[in-house]
């Protein structure tokens, strides 16, 4: 940082004693600020530069050089201080300093510093949100991501992670809304997976409560967002209990296609055969009953169904 030199004799001759004395003081403040900066006392330097600019501003044309030099450095110092606060995880002061850097840089025509400071704010908020999420501080993480989206409304990743934090906090309805926004903001694959999981959990809860209708509807929503074997199985079994046999048959066939080696394959094949027979698809039903006719557990029931249907 260069220091300013003022030849007082010239100043005295041209601008008068009082103004020259004020200019000398402003110059001294400026040079002291530069010295503080050289020893990495950024807050001290900032304070001195601000004092120098305030004094120089009152001197008219004589203080223009000092004022302009201060305007060139002060926003950068706020930016530097903001970065220092961020390093020690003091986000409130970091954001305040970066906002000040952005404000003054724009006012003084320093677009480069304004852009760097304003771009850094959502990055810091995002990083803090990630840290809180990893630490399982879910409400705090959601609040931090919300700050990011207020600054960057098209930040799909911020919406996605906000939804994850809300889900973990039990704010399911809010999470659904947030994930839906994430889909719109370019995070469709990951957000749809999260939405599918939410509805799958709803389906499982309904199934546990013997709410077949609720289980089926929630599982169908799960499949809308991301087709998956577990949801198809819940749809199939729930629909079967509701006597929606065509729906049950389609879902159970989908389950078997996704899980050809499922542990409950034989049982599902029997239930699929029942659903197919009930929906008038006797030929297909016979095919499944014949396949499991020799099974130790389900064979007898399958043979009975095959006889009833007069399978060849």
82 and 42 share a domain?
yes
pLDDT at 297 over 80: yes
Tokens encoding 125: 């908020």
Residue 254 lies in a domain: no
pLDDT for 1 equals 57
Same domain membership, residue 136 and residue 100: no
Q: What is the mean pLDDT of residues 17-24?
A: 76
pLDDT digits (tens, 9 = 90+) for 80-97: 999 999 999 899 999 999
Other Cβ atoms less than 10 A from the Cβ of 182: the count is: 27
Predicted TM-score (pTM) above 0.85? no
In the structure, what pLDDT confidence band is assigned to residue 15 with cuts at 50, 70 and 90?
low
How far apart CA 116 and CA 79 sit, in angstroms, is: 8
131 Cβ neighbours under 8 A, 6+ residues apart:
none
Q: Distances in Å between the alpha carbon of 227 and those of 193, 224, 235, 251? A: 9, 7, 12, 11
CB atoms within 10 A of CB 124: 21
CA distances from 66 to 14, 30, 51, 101, 109 (A): 18, 7, 11, 19, 16
What's the confidence (pLDDT) of residue 12? 45
Domain stop point among 107, 135, 152: 107
pLDDT at 8 over 80: no
Q: pLDDT per residue over 212-253, tens digit each?
A: 999 999 999 999 999 999 999 999 999 999 999 999 999 999
Together in a domain, 103 and 32? yes
CATH of the domain at 163: 1.25.40.10
State how far the Cα of 281 lies from the Cα of 291, in Å rounded to an integer. 16
Does residue 67 sit within a domain? yes
Mean pLDDT of all residues belonging to the chain: 93
- To the nearest 5 percent, what fractions of the chain are helix, strand and coil? 80, 0, 20
Residues 200 and 205: their CA atoms lie apart, in Å, by: 9
Residue 219 domain-assigned? no
Of 92, 85, 83, 89, nearest in space to 113 by CA: 83
Confidence of residue 312 (pLDDT cuts 50, 70, 90): confident
Asked whether residue 158 is assigned to any structural domain, the reply reads yes
pLDDT over 90 percentage in the chain: 89
Q: Judge whether 191 and 199 are in contact, CB under 8 Å.
A: no
- Single out the residue in 167, 186, 205 at which a domain terminates: 186
* Shared domain check, 126 and 101: no
135 in the same domain as 82: no
Contact 212, 193 (CB under 8 A): no
Q: How far is CA 180 from CA 147, 165, 187, 197, in A?
A: 18, 15, 9, 13
Whether residues 156 and 101 share a domain: the answer is no
The reply to whether 203 falls in a domain is: no
Give the domain range for residue 307. Answer: 263-312
Q: What is the DSSP letter of 226?
A: S
The total number of structural domains in the chain stands at 3
- Residue 4, CB half-sphere, CA atoms under 13 Å: how many? 25
């Amino acid at each position: 940082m260069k220091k300013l030199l003022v030849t007082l004799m010239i100043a005295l001759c041209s601008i008068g004693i009082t103004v020259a004395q004020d200019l000398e003081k402003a110059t001294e403040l400026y040079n002291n600020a530069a010295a503080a900066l050289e020893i990495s006392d950024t807050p001290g330097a900032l304070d001195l530069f601000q004092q120098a600019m305030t004094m120089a501003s009152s001197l008219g044309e004589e203080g223009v050089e000092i004022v302009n030099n201060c305007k060139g450095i002060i926003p950068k110092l706020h930016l530097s201080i903001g970065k220092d606060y961020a390093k020690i995880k003091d986000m409130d002061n970091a954001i305040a300093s970066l906002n000040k850097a952005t404000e003054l840089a724009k006012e003084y025509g320093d677009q480069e510093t304004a852009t760097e400071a304003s771009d850094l704010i959502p990055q810091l908020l995002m990083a803090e949100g990630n840290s809180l999420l990893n630490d399982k501080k879910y409400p705090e993480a959601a609040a931090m991501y919300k700050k990011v989206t207020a600054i960057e409304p098209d930040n799909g990743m911020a919406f996605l992670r906000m939804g994850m934090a809300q889900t973990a906090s039990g704010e399911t309805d809010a999470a659904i809304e947030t994930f839906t926004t994430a889909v719109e903001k370019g995070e469709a694959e990951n957000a749809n997976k999260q939405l599918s999981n939410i509805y799958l959990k709803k389906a499982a809860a309904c199934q546990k409560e013997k709410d077949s209708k609720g289980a089926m509807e929630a599982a169908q929503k799960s499949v809308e967002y991301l087709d998956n074997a577990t949801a198809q199985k819940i749809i199939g079994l729930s629909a079967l209990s509701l006597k929606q046999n065509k729906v049950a048959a389609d879902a159970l066939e989908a389950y078997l296609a996704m899980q050809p080696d499922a542990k409950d394959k034989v049982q599902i094949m029997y239930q699929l055969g029942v659903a197919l027979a009930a929906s008038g698809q006797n030929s297909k039903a016979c095919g499944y009953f014949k396949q499991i006719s020799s099974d130790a557990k389900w064979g007898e029931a399958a043979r009975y169904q095959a006889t009833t249907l007069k399978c060849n």
